[in-house]
């Protein structure tokens, strides 16, 4: 394991991200049947996940560890599949995701 991933805090962050991601995914198929409160809770979970992702990517960006750099590059590649344009950085992607969540919240509030 690399220096970056040896950190207890990094490992805990990764575990928390994984658990949140799994929880969000597990709810996707039931989402159409959720009541308003459950839908808002799901969006809150998505916002929390996005914030934790942003923090983790920032931490990756500060590291010169080869495995951390590789992980950040894999995240960039994944973001491209979800609309990140060449030349944009992950902050642009995160802003787009936040905007999408805000738009969904506005729809729920109507």
Domain boundaries, the chain: 3-109
- Please report how the helices 8-28 and 36-62 are oriented relative to each other, as an axis angle in degrees rounded to 10: 150
Q: For position 69, what pLDDT does the model report?
A: 94
Q: What is the pLDDT along the chain (110 residues), one digit of tens a residue?
A: 578 999 999 999 999 999 999 999 999 999 999 999 999 999 999 999 999 999 999 999 999 999 999 999 999 988 888 888 888 888 888 999 999 999 999 999 98
- The sign one gets for the Cα dihedral 53, 95, 70, 82 is positive
Other Cβ atoms less than 10 A from the Cβ of 5: the count is 14
Tell whether pTM > 0.85. yes
């Amino acid at each position: 394991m690399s220096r970056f991933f040896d950190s207890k805090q990094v490992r805990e962050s990764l575990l928390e991200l994984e658990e949140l991601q799994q929880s969000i995914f597990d709810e996707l198929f039931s989402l159409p049947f959720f009541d308003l409160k459950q839908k808002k809770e799901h969006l809150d979970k998505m916002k929390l996940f996005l914030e934790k992702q942003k923090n983790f990517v920032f931490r990756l960006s500060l590291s010169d560890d080869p495995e951390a750099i590789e992980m950040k590059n894999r995240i960039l590649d994944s973001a491209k599949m979800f609309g990140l344009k060449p030349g944009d950085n992950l902050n642009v992607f995160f802003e787009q995701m936040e905007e999408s969540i805000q738009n969904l919240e506005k729809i729920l509030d109507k």
